[in-house]
Amino acid sequence: MKYKLKICGMKIPANITEVVALQPDYIGFIFYPRSKRFIGNLDPLLIKNIPASIKTTGVFVNEELETVKNAIITYNLKAVQLHGQENAAYCEALKGHAEVIKAFGIDENFNFDTLDEYQAYTDYFLFDTQTPDHGGSGKTFSWQLLGNYKNGKPYFLSGGIGIDQLAELEMIKDERLYAIDINSKFELSPGLKDTVLLSTFKQALDKI
């Protein structure tokens, strides 16, 4: 099973160029000011000039809708990842502007039935570890909880995924698993990725 790969949390120009050379399917930029990986004043042209084969993705947390729409235009984003409490109507308002990826923090108390209202207004779900900081914890959640997911929507799997999880990923037999989202386990410092480690992971993932 060939999974798509999303490398998230990019903010350093030279490092972005190196990661783009690895040709992931998605590359993520965090527009949440409280994140250690916030893009800050990164030149929009750097993102706009990324090859179209790589889907540039803006990560937002409870942002004003018009701010997200403006960012899609300014940075020519191909996808938006919504990591807050955005409702289905919010997702609906973004449909057609970019791919809509709605993220949910998963723990033992998560009710997968709450996803049903988002079904028509999203392209993908993203399942991350439940944290107060809207992701970026570097911790995995129990993937056994995905057995409670009865929806047919394809999803990204996120949350502390690194080299050590490759064997577990190979054991997952779920055709709805569309993409693997990686970030902190491949960092030398927040926002600075180890491209050698990324390349090793990507090559191994391609063989799963």
User: Which tens digit of pLDDT belongs to each residue from 61-109?
Assistant: 999 999 999 999 999 999 999 999 999 999 999 999 999 999 999 999 9
* Residue 62: partners with Cβ closer than 8 Å, 6 or more residues away: 84, 85, 86
Q: For the chain, give the longest Cα–Cα distance.
A: 42
Count H helices and E strands in the chain, helices first: 6, 10
Q: Which domains does the chain have, with CATH numbers?
A: 4-206 (3.20.20.70)
- Is residue 8 flagged as an active site residue? yes
Q: Which of the residues 8, 43, 91, 116 is marked catalytic? A: 8
Q: Which of the residues 128, 133, 181, 206 is marked catalytic? A: 128
**Tokens representing residue 205 in the block:** 């993932």
Average pLDDT over residues 29-55: 97
Question: Residues 5-35: pLDDT tens digits?
Answer: 999 999 999 999 999 999 999 999 999 999 9
- Smallest CA-to-CA distance from 43 within 14, 65, 23, 5 is with 14
Q: What is the pLDDT of residue 180?
A: 98
| pLDDT interval class at 112 (50, 70, 90) | very high
| pLDDT interval class at 163 (50, 70, 90) | very high
Type and span of the H or E element at 29 = strand 26-30
168 C-beta neighbours (distance < 10 Å), count: 11
Specify the pTM: 0.95
Q: What is the pLDDT of residue 139?
A: 73
**Residue 136: pLDDT above 90?**
no
Average pLDDT over residues 38-54: 97
- Is residue 128 flagged as an active site residue? yes
Average pLDDT over residues 103-131: 94
> Mean pLDDT across the chain, nearest whole number?
94
